[in-house]
């Protein structure tokens, strides 16, 4: 995040806990913990401007039956004299009943890095998230014995695992790769990735739009969410859902959604199912033709909406769920918020 004048910068995190949600919230040193039912979410934030000052407030969300409930939101703020402020954050879900994880900041080693460390003993995981002065962010995920599990990077083109598997995007962006027994997981949204050093020739590819092999290089075209799993054994590949890019300043009224960008490596015919996940408090939204590629949503309140798409191929294989993000109405009018968005002046 960059700023050209002295101001206060605020990051907002929350989960379904605290307030009238029925869950609980606990503030920590670098973030907070939300617990509700069988689920728990821990967050942490580190910045190049020092440890943020954290405050809490109650915010609205919709419960079942469109009942307005509240949860605890955590605002983490730093003062910036101008120039650039860099940050790295973690949001990590676990199950209630397991020992909770810990998230701590790592002191700058002297080269301007901003870092957080997560330790989850119950999940056999240690994660270090690093933000570099050039804008790159890396996530290194290891077992608690130090064995590598996963490596990912944002604002980057390439990652290489310790086993020699090299993954290169066609353009800079998020990229991650994990090798497991009998499969390779890839994370690289809406791009083509060249893989060298694969331990097998892929026969199945869940979440891929296309896979081609040319000598020692395998090219994978990913869907919008970018999650692909490659397998050495033959069989049907699961499709990838694409609900379209985020939309802002959407006028109130009828909005047509479009899932025709969804794809399948086997080129099977796809059927769609949409559902509204969140909408502004008090909204009386209506979703029509939810089982088609082009449903329509009646938008009657300004604010953020999330509409989830799952596609199914001719063999019954389902895609991962992917959300369309819709921001209805202008964010700000002058210095007044049209809805609660910290990016307004």
pLDDT at 332 over 70: no
Write out the two tokens for 185.
């997981």
In-domain check, residue 308: yes
Asked whether residue 307 is assigned to any structural domain, the reply reads yes
In-domain check, residue 319: yes
pLDDT of res. 334: 46
Q: Across all residues in the chain, what is the average pLDDT?
A: 89
Residue 239 lies in a domain: no
At residue 178, the pLDDT reads 87
Rounded to whole angstroms, the Cα distance separating 235 from 184 reads 16
242 part of a folded domain: no
Q: Is residue 315 part of a domain?
A: yes
Enclosing domain of residue 310: 247-337
Report the pLDDT value the prediction gives residue 67, as an integer from 0 to 100: 67
What tens digit of pLDDT does each residue of 114-142 get? 999 999 999 999 999 999 998 888 898 98
- pLDDT for residue 271 is more than 80: yes
Q: What is the pLDDT of residues 179-206, one digit of tens each?
A: 888 899 999 999 999 999 998 999 999 9
Kindly write down the DSSP assignment for every residue of 48-60, as one continuous string. TT-SPEEEEEEEE
How many domains, the chain?
Answer: 1
The CATH number that applies at residue 298 is: 2.60.40.10
Model pTM? 0.70
Rg over alpha carbons for the chain, rounded to the nearest Å, is 21
Between 2 and 314, residue with greater pLDDT: 314
Is the pLDDT at 43 greater than 70? The verdict is: yes
Q: Which two tokens stand for residue 182?
A: 């009998």
Q: Tell me the average pLDDT across 267-288.
A: 94
Q: What angle do CA 187, 89, 189 make, to 5 degrees?
A: 20
Judge whether 219 lies within some domain: no
Q: Does residue 53 have a pLDDT over 80?
A: yes
Enter the tokens of residue 327.
């921001």
| Residue 156 placed within a domain | no
Backbone angles phi, psi at 195, to 5 degrees: -110, 130
């Amino acid at each position: 995040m960059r700023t050209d004048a002295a101001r206060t910068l605020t990051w907002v995190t929350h989960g379904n806990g605290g307030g009238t949600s029925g869950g609980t919230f606990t503030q920590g040193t670098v973030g907070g913990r939300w617990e509700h039912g069988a689920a728990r979410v821990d967050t942490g934030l580190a910045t190049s401007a020092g440890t943020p000052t954290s405050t809490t407030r109650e915010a609205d969300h919709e419960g079942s039956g469109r009942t307005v409930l509240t949860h605890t939101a955590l605002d983490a703020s730093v003062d910036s004299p101008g120039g650039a402020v860099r940050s790295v954050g973690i949001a990590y879900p676990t199950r209630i009943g397991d020992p909770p994880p810990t998230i701590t900041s790592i002191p700058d080693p002297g080269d301007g890095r901003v870092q957080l460390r997560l330790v989850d003993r119950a999940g056999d995981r240690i994660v270090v998230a690093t933000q570099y002065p050039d804008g790159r962010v890396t996530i290194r995920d290891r077992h608690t014995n130090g064995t590598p599990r996963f490596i990912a990077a944002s604002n980057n083109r390439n990652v290489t695992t310790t086993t020699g598997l090299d993954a290169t995007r066609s353009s800079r962006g998020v990229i991650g790769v994990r090798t497991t027994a009998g499969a390779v997981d890839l994370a690289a949204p809406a791009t083509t990735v060249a893989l060298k050093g694969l331990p097998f020739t892929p026969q199945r590819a869940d979440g891929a739009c296309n896979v081609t092999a040319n000598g020692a290089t395998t090219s994978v075209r990913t869907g919008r969410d970018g999650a692909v799993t490659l397998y050495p054994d033959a069989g049907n590949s699961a499709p990838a859902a694409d609900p379209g890019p985020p939309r802002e300043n959407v006028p109130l009224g009828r909005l047509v959604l479009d899932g025709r960008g969804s794809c399948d490596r086997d080129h099977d015919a796809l059927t769609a199912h949409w559902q509204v996940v969140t909408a502004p408090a008090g909204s009386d939204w209506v979703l029509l033709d939810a089982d088609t590629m082009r449903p329509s949503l009646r938008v009657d309140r300004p604010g953020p909406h999330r509409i989830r798409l799952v596609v199914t191929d001719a063999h019954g294989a389902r895609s991962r769920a992917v959300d369309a993000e819709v921001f209805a109405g202008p964010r700000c009018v002058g210095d007044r918020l049209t809805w609660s968005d910290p990016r307004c002046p």
